[in-house]
Structures are given as C-alpha cells and as structure tokens.
Structure 1
Amino acid sequence: MNRVIINADDFGIHTEVNQAVIEACGQGVLTSTSLLANGPAFDQAVDLVRKCPKLGIGIHLSLVGSLPTVLSAKEVPTLVQSDGLLPESYTEVIKRACQGKLDYGQVYREFDAQMEKIMATGLPIDHLDSHQHLHVLPQIWSIVQSLMMKYGIHRLRIPREAYSYKVLSANPVRIAGRDGLTYLSRKAMTSVRRLHFTTTDFFWGMVDGGHMTESNLHYLIDRLPFGTHEIMMHPGRSTAVLSQSFAWGYHWQDEFQALLSPEIRRQLEAKQIELITYGDLP
C-alpha cells in the first residue's frame, strides 16, 4: 500500500491560507502543514491548529518571501533588503552567497530563532522543510542539520522530484529549477542517511508548485510508484485576496478546491492509498 503525506506549505503567512488549511484538514484530504514562524498570521495559525489535532505540523524555515525576520533586521543585516524584509526569491539569496555577502552565522541565528519560536508554542512538531526549499543548499543544509539535532527533529522534506516527471510537458523554466533542486536534494541524502534522519521515498509538487489543481493532482495520484510520498500543496481560500499580497502567480483557491474534491478522495480510496503524516514515518 502506498502511504502519502499531503502537506500545505506557508501556514501562518495569511489568514486566507490559515482558514484553507484548517478546512482542508477537517473536510478534505490534507494531512500535514508547515508553519512559518515569521508569517504575519502566525498567532492565528497556532490558535487554529490546536482545533485540528490530527494535522501533522512542521517547521517551514524562511529566508525569502518578502517576510520579516524573527530577529530584528539589525541583527541579521546580510539576510534582509533595504526595507528590512527578506528578499522575495531564492535567486537573491544565492546571488548573495556567491558574492560572499551572506553571513552564515546570521542564517544560523535566524533559523534558530524561528525554530525556537515554533517549539515554544508546545505544538507537536513532526518535521522540517523550508520556503522555496533553501534548506538543501549545501552551506545552509549544514546549518539545518545542526539545528535539527539541537531541537530533536529527525524527519524532514528532501525535495527530490523525479527528473522524468512531466519532463516533456511542464514549463522548461520549472523543469530546470526542479532538476537543480533534485540534484542538490540527492546530494543531501548522504547526510540524511548518515545522521539517521527520515524522509519520504518520493516528493512531488515542484513542477506543479502553485498550481496543483484537481486535474494535476489526479494525474499525479494515478502515477505514484510504490513507496512513501509527500505531495506539496499551497491552498488558500481566495486567490484574488492572496494575489494582492503575494505576486507569485499561485492558484491558491484551485489547490484548496482540489483538497476538498470528492473525486480526489474517491481516487485515493480506489487506489488504497493510506494518508499519513510525517509522524507516521519510522
């Protein structure tokens, strides 16, 4: 039997996302979410998730997204822009790293503060991942390993989507990004095994990131190989409202509806797929 984690990223980023996550857990097929310590709607997310005890909860580390830092901007100047916020995209983080302008000590301290803030809620944390998957960049990955051991977290996302998936049909830019991410993720697996961390056999949601619609989700479920899987989702109750704050081109509302779809639930049942959380992994 295939075992599948369906995870919603960006919990805490906006009230529209928070409400969608809770509804998709209670009424749909969502099993897990990842919480942003620096999300503007963090406090609401923490309050809401206490009402959904079956939902797995992870830490969603962030160095991007035009979000504030948990530490003051003055404490982490190499991580922020002139407005005191984190850069919009991973490309700026990589650029600073290549130019020697990224202080990894500041990365450690900010990530430590994010993890400490979430752990202090007392919520049962079962995994770790990151905004735009920056935790698998080599220098950042070493920091994340240390912090996972510090906080006793041993399950995490390693976003190694299969090179062959939608290779001829997806956006070429997405394919290139996916392939680079998968390459770094496969290198990270050496440390995962050495440190006895746990991840799923497969990860999905990179080429369909932000538009895991019902049709895309149906297509994926129909082709899952045997093993444990994580499917990454970005649900939100209103794309129109969220697009006013985040110019990412995501189809939040469509992803939300996919999670509520009776057809998706029937497909999962017909294929005898067990829905799980990271906490169900060994």
Structure 2
Amino acid sequence: MSTSTMTKYMIINADDFGYCPKRDKAIVELFQQKSISSTSLLVNGDNAYQACLYAKQYDIPMGIHLNLTEGRPVTNDLIEIKSLVNSNGMMHGKLGIRYELDKGSIQQEHVEYEIINQFNRYKELTNGQLPKHIDGHQHIHVHPMIVESVARLAKQFGINYIRVPYDQMVITWNANNLFHNEIVNQTKEAMKIFNKYALLYCDYFFGMTTMGKEFTLNNIEKCLKILENESKKNLLIELMCHPGYPSDPLVGGCGIGQPDAFSQSIERQHEFDILSS
C-alpha cells in the first residue's frame, strides 16, 4: 500500500501533569505551541489543583495518570489500603510495589479502593468531568495482578481509552533493558484484558526508549521508521513524553493529595502562573 493512501495520526501525550509548577508550565506552553496533544494528571501531585485550572483555561485534553507507586495515596484512611503503603504512609515505589505484588503482599481490595478514590479525586478536581483516557505512572496499570481491576473499573467509570505501552522500539532496538522488556511482555497479555472490556487503544506506542537525554531527533526518527512497512490504512500512534523546565527538588512531588492543600498552595505559585500570558 502506498504511504500516500495512509493516514497516520500521532497523539503526543505529556505525562505527570500536576507534579510541580515548572513541569506544568512546560506542558501548558507546549500545548499552546501545538507540540503536544494531551496530558495525564497525577491526582496526588502537589500541583494537581493548579494543573486542572490550566487544563480548563486552555482546554487541554486530560486523562488520569493512575499512580500506585509514588508518594502518598489519595485515600485518607490508610487502614483501607494498608498493604499499598509502608510504615510512613507512602506507596512502595516503582520497583517496591512490583516486589510486594510478586510476593503476594498486596491485597486486591486495597488496589481497587485506591483506584476508585483516584477516579473520584479526578472528578472532584475537574468539577465532575471524566478522564479522556487512562494510563499508569511507571506503567503499573499493565501489571498482571492489577490490570483486571484497572480495566474493569475504567469501564465502570466510563473511561474508554487506555494506554498500551507495547513499545516497538523496545522490541527492535532496546532488548537489553530488563524493565522495558518486562513492561512490553506484560502489555502483550494486558491487551487481552483490555479487549475483554472493549477498551480502545492506539496501534503503536513509543516513549520508553526516548525518555530524558534519549529524547533526540535521531531516536524519534528511528521510531517513525518502524511505521514505514505498516500496511494498515489508518494508524493511531501514541508518543509518550515527560516535558518540564529544570525544577527545584524541594518543590513538587506526590505528597499532598488533598483539595484544600491544593487550594492553599496557589499563592506560592504566582511566579509560575501563566494563566494571563
């Protein structure tokens, strides 16, 4: 099939919206420049309240960046999710939760309780809106012990689009990264669950091999080259990115998780405010 008869549509999604003021500033500016298509909100991010104001002001399509790994959960009563947190009330971390899941320490009802609370928090922060899509912070949503709950609850809440991080660059160019390979293998199985719940997802995903200093024109061209031999008439592609200005390590994170605290934090963010720009 000639490439002239094909339609390729790429979604460029910025993860971690709401993490801190300087990351959010970059995401909004990139959307204004039409350099990104959408973003995903960390509902337990320190700047989530302000991020939602930006999304409303600039009409930024926004999904939920489900976070079961980093910072404080949104659930207030930690007894309800006690296996998801450590003795300090913090989640177990990117590798920590996977270790706890593998040894059977995480209770499914705790996972679902926090997921539901994160969906509800998103609605609270956006005046009742539903996320446009769902993806997972550090791709936790495709873990085999979590994916069924994510898919079922997403459908229950009316969320129809989900990320599938089946990154062709990992398969083609980056076979030595064990974490990336694990995510790709888990995603291959997760797609069966997503199909079961009639969730929609892109034909191709790129982004794991282009994070940080690897986000170069050369690497992006490698991603696009993979599509040259694709014969499908219409392709939907997602490129994940993590933009942001250099940030103060003491400002931001995933530790507040309360609407009142979000509101109170606005005053200290005026120097980053771009609502009137």
Is the shorter-chain TM-score for this pair beyond 0.5, marking a shared fold? yes
Which of the numbers 116, 121, 124 marks the counterpart of 1:117? Answer: 121
Look up the match of 1:165.
172
Displacement of 1:96 in angstroms is 1.0
Q: How far apart are the structure 2 equivalents of 1:186 and 1:203?
A: 12
Look up the match of 2:242.
234
5+ unaligned residues in a row in structure 2: which ranges? 1-6, 254-277
One-letter code aligned to 1:76: I
Q: How far apart are the structure 1 equivalents of 2:221 and 2:17?
A: 25
TM-score of the pair, normalised by structure 1: 0.78
Look up the match of 1:86.
91
Look up the match of 1:32.
38
Look up the match of 1:219.
221
Look up the match of 1:190.
192
Q: How far apart are the structure 2 equivalents of 1:156 and 1:41?
A: 24
Look up the match of 2:72.
68
Displacement of 1:6 in angstroms is 0.3
Alignment check: 8 A CA contact 1:212 1:233 kept? no
Q: Taking every aligned residue pair, what percent have the same amino acid on both sides?
A: 27
Look up the match of 2:101.
97
Look up the match of 2:265.
none
Alignment check: 8 A CA contact 2:46 2:252 kept? no
TM-score of the pair, normalised by structure 2: 0.79
Q: Cα RMSD (Å) of the superposition?
A: 2.1
Alignment check: 8 A CA contact 1:57 1:124 kept? no
Alignment check: 8 A CA contact 1:16 1:242 kept? no
Q: How far apart are the structure 1 equivalents of 2:35 and 2:226?
A: 16
1:234–1:155 distance in 2 versus 1, CA, 3 Å = same
Instruction: Show CA shifts across 1:184-213 (max 9, x none).
Output: 111111122232211000111112233453
5+ unaligned residues in a row in structure 1: which ranges? 247-282
Q: How far apart are the structure 2 equivalents of 1:177 and 1:88?
A: 14
SS where residue 125 of structure 1 aligns?
coil
1:3–1:179 distance in 2 versus 1, CA, 3 Å = same
Q: How far apart are the structure 1 equivalents of 2:219 and 2:212?
A: 12
Q: Does 1:205 align with 2:187?
A: no
Structure having greater relative contact order (Cα 8 Å, sep ≥ 6): 2
Displacement of 1:221 in angstroms is 5.4
Larger radius of gyration: 2
Q: How far apart are the structure 2 equivalents of 1:125 and 1:111?
A: 13
